[in-house]
C-alpha cells in the first residue's frame, strides 16, 4: 500500500505538473489572443476610418458624376440643336442648288443670245447717237 500511495502521489504530482503546464499554455494562448484582439480592434478602427474616407470620396465622386450627367445632357441638347441647324442649312443649300439648276439654262440663254443682241443694239444706238450728233453739229454750223 505504501507503494500505492507513493504511486498515487507521483501520479498526482505528474497530473499537477500537467495541469500547471496546461494552465501556463492556456495563459500564453490567452495573452496571445488578447494581443490578437487588440490588433483586430486596431485594424477595425483603421478600417472604419478608411471606410469613412472612402464614403466621403464616394460622395464626392457621386456629386462629380451627377455634374457630369448634367453637362452631358446639356451637351446632348446643344448637339441636337446644332444638328437641327445643320439640317436646316442643308435644306436651304439644296433649295439654292435647285434654284441655280432651274435658272442656269435661262442665264446661259441670256449670256449667249439676249446679252449679245442687247450689246449689238446698244452699239447701233451709240452709232446712231454719234451720227445724230454729227448731223446736229453740221446743222449748227450751217445755221451760223
pLDDT of residue 143: 81
Return d(Cα 40, Cα 28) in angstroms, integer.
18
Return d(Cα 63, Cα 70) in angstroms, integer.
11
pLDDT of residue 90: 96
Residues in the chain predicted with pLDDT less than 50, given as ranges, are none
Which DSSP category does 80 fall into?
Answer: H
pLDDT of residue 128: 93
DSSP secondary structure, 97-111, as one string: HHHHHHHHHHHHHII
First CA to last CA distance, the chain: 191
pLDDT of residue 1: 57
pLDDT of residue 94: 96
Cβ partners under 8 Å of residue 8, min gap 6: none
Longest dimension (CA), the chain: 191
Amino acid at each position: 500500500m505504501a507503494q500505492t500511495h507513493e504511486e498515487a502521489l507521483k501520479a498526482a504530482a505528474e497530473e499537477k505538473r500537467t495541469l500547471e503546464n496546461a494552465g501556463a499554455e492556456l495563459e500564453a494562448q490567452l495573452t496571445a489572443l488578447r494581443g490578437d484582439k487588440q490588433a483586430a480592434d486596431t485594424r477595425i478602427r483603421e478600417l472604419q476610418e478608411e471606410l469613412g474616407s472612402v464614403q466621403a470620396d464616394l460622395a464626392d465622386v457621386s456629386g462629380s458624376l451627377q455634374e457630369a450627367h448634367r453637362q452631358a445632357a446639356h451637351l446632348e441638347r446643344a448637339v441636337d440643336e446644332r444638328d437641327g441647324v445643320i439640317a436646316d442649312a442643308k435644306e436651304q443649300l439644296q433649295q439654292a442648288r435647285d434654284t441655280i439648276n432651274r435658272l442656269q439654262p435661262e442665264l446661259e440663254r441670256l449670256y449667249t443670245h439676249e446679252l449679245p443682241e442687247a450689246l449689238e443694239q446698244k452699239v447701233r444706238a451709240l452709232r446712231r447717237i454719234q451720227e445724230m450728233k454729227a448731223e446736229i453739229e453740221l446743222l449748227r454750223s450751217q445755221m451760223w
